[in-house]
Structure 1
Amino acid sequence: MSTALAVHHGPFGRVALYNLDRSMTLHAHREGHLIFHVQGPPGSIDIEGEQYPLEPGQGVAVSPWQPHNYCCLHPGKPSLYLTLYIKPFWFLDASRRASASLRFGRSPIDVTETINRLVFKIAGAMLEDADDSYVAGYLYGLTQESFDQSWQWIAEGASFTRCAPPVRDFRVRNAIKLMREKVSERVVLDRIARGAGLSRPHFYKLFRQQVGITPNMYLNTLRMENAIDRLVTSIDPVTDIGLDLGFSSQASFTRFFIANVGIAPSDYRRIVHFADAA
C-alpha cells in the first residue's frame, strides 16, 4: 500500500516523501514538478507519451500543466521518492531572474553529486522535522540546479525560457472562470461549454489548444488542489470534502485522491506539516 513518510507545505509549494507501490492516473499540476528516486525498485514517469526512468542517478522534471503519470514497474514493492511541487512565482522571486518560469528545458535530470546531496539533505530534514528555513533553502538549491541542468543542452539556453503561452481566447477564459467557480459542484462540462458559448467538440478542441490539457484534466486539477487545501487548512471531515467536490461517496473521493496524489486523503492529512510563511 502506498504511504507518505513526510509532507511539507509552505510558501514554496509542497514537498513529499512518498512510498509508492502502484501506478497513478494521468494528471497535471500548476507547479513545477521534480521527482527523485531515494530507494527501492526503479519506476518511470510518462510525460505526454514519453517514458523517463526514475532510478538511482536519474530524476525527472515536469513543467507546469504537463500531463504525466507515475508508472510502478514492480507492483507491491514500494519505492521511495522525493517529490517536489514548486510554485513558479516562489521560484521566480527566490531566483531574482526574470527568465525563471520553471518551464524545464528537458525532462531527464542527471543526479549529480550536488543534486544527490541536496535530495538527501531535504529527505533528512523532513524526517527529522528540521527548521523550515533549512528545508526551503535546500528546495530552492535543488530546483535551481535541476532547472539549470535541464537547459544545459538546449540551444537557446535558460535565458530564453518562457512561461506557457497565455490563454487568449475569451471563451476559454470564461470556461476556466466557470470551472473555478463551480469546482465545489457536480460540474457537467457540457454546461460549461454552453456557458462559454461553444459546442462540446469545439470547446474540447479549443481548450486543449489554448491550455495544453483537456477540460476534464483541468477540472480534476482544480478538485485535487481544493481537496489538498481543505485537508491541510481545515478540520472538515474527509467525507464532507469529497461530497462538496461532487463525489458521490467517500470511497469514490478516496479512489480519486489516491489515483492523483498517491495516498489516501486521511493519510495525507495525518502526515502533513505546514511550514511558517517566514
Structure 2
Amino acid sequence: MSTALAVHHGPFGRVALYNLDRSLALHAHREGHLIIHIQGPPASIRIDEDIFPLSGGQAVAISPWQPHNYMSLDSEEPSLFLTLYIKPFWFLEASRQANASLRFGRSQIDVTEQIFRLSFQVASAMLEDADDSFIAGYLYELTQACFDQSWQWVAEGATFTRCAPPVRDFRVRNSVKLMQHRVSERIVLDKIARESGLSRPHFYKLFRQQVGITPNIYLNTLRMESAIDRLTTTSDAVTDIGLDLGFSSQASFTRFFIANAGIAPSDYRRVVHFAGLA
C-alpha cells in the first residue's frame, strides 16, 4: 500500500517521502517538480510523450505545468521516492537569477554523489523533524544541482533565459480566471467554454495550445492545491473538503486524491509538517 513517511511544507513549496506501489493519473503542478529514487524496485514516469526510468541512481525533473504520470512496475513492493515541489519564485529569489525561470533543460537527471548526499540530508532532516532552515537550505542546494545538470548538455543552457510563454488569447485567460474563482463549485467545463465565448472543441484545442495542458488537468491541479492547503492549514473534515470541492462523497474525493498524490487525504494530513506552525 502506498504511504507517506513524511511531508514538509514551507516557503519553498513542499517535499515528501513517498512509498509508492500504484500508478498515478496524468496530472501537473505549477511548481518545479523533482522525483528522486531512494530505494526499492524500479519504476518509470511519463513526461509529455516520453517515458523515463526511475531506479537507483536516477531522478527526473519536471517543469511547471508539464503533464506527467508515475507508473509503478511492481505492485508487490513499494518504491521509496523523495519528491520535491519547488515554487519557482522561491528558487529564483534564493538563486538571484531573476532573468531565468525554473524550467528544466531535460527531464533525465543522473544522481551524482552531490545529489545523493543532498537527497539523504533532506530525507534525514525530514524524518528527524530538523529545523526548518536546514531543510530549506538542503532543498535549495538540491534543486540548484539538478537545475544546473538539466541544462549542462543542452545547447541553449549557457544563456538560458526563456520563461513560459504567456497566455495571449483573452478567451483562454478568461476561462483560467473562471476556473480559479470557481474551484469550489461543481464546474462543468462546457459551461466555462460557453462563458468564454468558445465552442467545446475550440475551447479544448485553444486551451491546450495556449496553456500546454488540457482544461481537465488544469482544473484538477487547482482542486489538488486547494485540497492540500485545507488539509494542512485547517481542521476541516475530509468529507467537508471533498464536498466543498464539488465531489459527491468522501469516497469519490479520496479516489481523486489517491489518483493524483498516491495516498489518501487522511494519510497526507497525518504526516504533514508545516514550517512555522507544527
TM-score normalised per structure 2: 0.98
Structure 2 match to 1:247: 247
CA–CA separation in structure 1 for the residues paired with 2:269 and 2:72: 24
In structure 1, give the amino acid aligned to 2:256: F
Equivalent position SS for 1:156: helix
Indicate if the aligned counterparts of 2:100 and 2:160 stay in contact, CA closer than 8 A: no
In structure 2, give the amino acid aligned to 1:276: G
Identity, in percent, stands at 79
Structure 2 match to 1:205: 205
TM-score normalised per structure 1: 0.98
Structure 1 match to 2:64: 64
Indicate if the aligned counterparts of 1:29 and 1:66 stay in contact, CA closer than 8 A: yes
1:187-223 deviations in Å (ceiling 9; x for gaps): 0001000111111111001000000000000000000
User: 1:69/1:158 Cα in 2 relative to 1: closer, same or farther (>3 Å)?
Assistant: farther
Equivalent position SS for 1:157: helix
CA–CA separation in structure 2 for the residues paired with 1:67 and 1:202: 21
Q: Give matches, 1:1-278, under 5 Å.
A: 1-276=1-276
Equivalent position SS for 2:198: coil
Equivalent position SS for 1:25: coil
In structure 2, give the amino acid aligned to 1:88: P
Indicate if the aligned counterparts of 1:105 and 1:158 stay in contact, CA closer than 8 A: no
CA–CA separation in structure 2 for the residues paired with 1:195 and 1:80: 44
CA–CA separation in structure 2 for the residues paired with 1:80 and 1:226: 26
CA–CA separation in structure 2 for the residues paired with 1:158 and 1:9: 32
1:65-104 deviations in Å (ceiling 9; x for gaps): 0000000000131110000000000001000012331100
1:35-65 deviations in Å (ceiling 9; x for gaps): 0011111111110121111111110000000
CA–CA separation in structure 2 for the residues paired with 1:241 and 1:158: 45
In structure 2, give the amino acid aligned to 1:121: Q
CA–CA separation in structure 1 for the residues paired with 2:59 and 2:159: 23
Indicate if the aligned counterparts of 1:183 and 1:245 stay in contact, CA closer than 8 A: yes
Paired residue total: 277
CA–CA separation in structure 2 for the residues paired with 1:150 and 1:121: 21
* TM-align CA RMSD: 0.9
The alpha-carbon deviation at position 180 of structure 1 amounts to 0.7
Indicate if the aligned counterparts of 1:99 and 1:158 stay in contact, CA closer than 8 A: no
The alpha-carbon deviation at position 159 of structure 1 amounts to 3.0
CA–CA separation in structure 2 for the residues paired with 1:161 and 1:128: 38
CA–CA separation in structure 1 for the residues paired with 2:227 and 2:100: 29
1:142-184 deviations in Å (ceiling 9; x for gaps): 0000000000001111532422101111100100000011110
CA–CA separation in structure 1 for the residues paired with 2:52 and 2:117: 22
Indicate if the aligned counterparts of 1:18 and 1:82 stay in contact, CA closer than 8 A: yes
1:222-251 deviations in Å (ceiling 9; x for gaps): 000000000001111000000000101000
Equivalent position SS for 2:38: strand
Which stretch shows the higher mean deviation, 98-107 or 166-175? 98-107
1:111-151 deviations in Å (ceiling 9; x for gaps): 00000000000000000001110000000000000000000
In structure 1, give the amino acid aligned to 2:52: Y
In the alignment, structure 1 segments of 5+ residues that lack a partner are: none
Indicate if the aligned counterparts of 2:6 and 2:16 stay in contact, CA closer than 8 A: yes
Which stretch shows the higher mean deviation, 95-104 or 146-155? 95-104
